[in-house]
Structure 1
């Protein structure tokens, strides 16, 4: 992972609620489903949070498996979080990780340990302070 500061810029005009998201020369949309007034042209913000955790977890596992020469063919991660109105200090994200490949049980167990070492997992597992100006 790069040591430079990670930044993102979001822009929302009068579109309901299609938001442009820019980071490091890349671009995506975030949006809300049509049943709450969005255009459903992008993932909702909570799904983007899950996508961040899932992709970071998969990348961290892949880096480790490649470095250790594990015979790991693929990684699938299913994630879920409660509904927005149910979120509080005890909000839980569930993460189910599946590995495909010729792995020993010890290798599988080690990859589960490595999953918790991804930077996004570490961020989400600790108090986060958000400073707004």
Structure 2
């Protein structure tokens, strides 16, 4: 479970507790924050990027591919209708064949966060 609360410092800064890890989210100064952490949409981009890299690394290890690193860049743009387009670029580092590279590209779309973002999402909200 993730727990979010107002951080002790900052105008909009939020403390995020995830198990034993604590980190922060904020907004840029241009929208009233102090820019002391990534904005929420940046965290969403980071979730997709890190899940992609982890998934490809694990699959390459299991297959015995000579993958030494995965570098992922993610950004997004918001359309006038409110929809979002995420751009993901993947760099596979290592002595890989063309076939292995294509295989891993297909696996990228099977990472759990990609599948979540591509599917139907329902959010149950309640006051506590």
CA shift in 2, pair 1:71/1:87, >3 Å: farther
Q: Which runs of 4+ in 1 moved over 6 A?
A: none
Unaligned runs of at least 5 residues, structure 2: none
In structure 2, distance between residues paired with 1:9 and 1:115? 28
2:62 maps to: 67
Q: Aligned-pair distance for 1:13?
A: 5.8
Structure 1 runs not aligned, ≥5 long: 1-6
> Which residue in 2 is equivalent to 1:43?
38
Q: Alignment length, in residue pairs?
A: 125
- Alignment RMSD, CA only? 1.6
Higher strand share: 2
Q: Deviations over 1:50-79 (max 9, x none)?
A: 000100010000000001111111111111
Checking the alignment, whether the CA contact within 8 Å between 2:7 and 2:15 is kept in structure 1 is no
Q: TM-score, normalised by structure 1?
A: 0.88
Q: Aligned residue for 1:131?
A: 124
TM-score, L = length of structure 2: 0.91
